[in-house]
A and B are shown apart, each in its own frame.
Chain A
Amino acid sequence: MIVAETCRQFLSDCGINPDRLVLEWASAAEAPRFVELITGYVNSIKKKGGVGSCEGEADAETIRRRLDAAVKAAQARKPRTALGLLAKKLHKKGEYTQEAIGKGVSSKILPALRALRIREEIKLLLAGASMDVDELCKVLSAGPDELEKPLAEMQKKGVVEVHDGKFRLAGK
Chain B
Amino acid sequence: MAQENVLEKENEMAQEGFEPRILGFFCHWCCYAAADSAGVSRYQYPPNVRVIRVMCTGRIDIRFILEAFRCGADGVFTGG
Contacts of A27 in B (CB 8 A): 30, 33-34
Within 8 A of A (CB), among B23-73: 24, 29-31, 33-35, 37-38, 40-41, 43-46, 48-49, 57, 60-63, 65-67, 69-70, 72-73
Contacts of B41 in A (CB 8 A): 31
Say whether A142 faces chain B, with CB atoms less than 8 Å apart: no
1/0 per residue A41-73: CB within 8 Å of B? 111011011111101011100011001101100
* Complex-state Cα separation, A60 to B20, whole angstroms: 15
**Are B38 and A35 in contact (CB-based, < 8 A)?**
yes
- Size of chain B's interface in residues, with CB distance under 8 A? 45
**Are B30 and A74 in contact (CB-based, < 8 A)?**
no
**Are B37 and A29 in contact (CB-based, < 8 A)?**
yes
**Are A20 and B69 in contact (CB-based, < 8 A)?**
yes
Contacts of B37 in A (CB 8 A): 28-29, 31, 34
Contacts of A25 in B (CB 8 A): 30-31, 79-80
Most buried by A among B13, B69, B80: B69
* Complex-state Cα separation, A42 to B44, whole angstroms: 13
Closest to B58 in A: A3
A42/B48 contact (C-beta < 8 A), A3-B61, A28-B37 known:
yes
**Are A34 and B38 in contact (CB-based, < 8 A)?**
yes
**Are A38 and B33 in contact (CB-based, < 8 A)?**
no
Contacts of A30 in B (CB 8 A): 34
**A82 CB to closest chain B CB, in angstroms?**
11
**Are A23 and B78 in contact (CB-based, < 8 A)?**
yes
Instruction: Offer 27 A-B interface pairs, CB within 8 angstroms, sorted by A.
Output: A4-B60, A7-B65, A11-B66, A20-B69, A22-B77, A22-B78, A23-B80, A24-B79, A26-B30, A27-B33, A28-B29, A28-B34, A31-B35, A31-B40, A34-B79, A35-B45, A38-B45, A38-B77, A45-B20, A45-B22, A46-B18, A48-B75, A51-B73, A51-B74, A57-B1, A70-B66, A75-B63
Show the binding face of B for A, using Cβ within 8 Å: 1, 6, 9-10, 13, 18-20, 22, 24, 29-31, 33-35, 37-38, 40-41, 43-46, 48-49, 57, 60-63, 65-67, 69-70, 72-80
Show the binding face of A for B, using Cβ within 8 Å: 3-4, 6-7, 10-11, 16, 20-35, 37-39, 41-43, 45-46, 48-53, 55, 57-59, 63-64, 67-68, 70-71, 74-75, 83
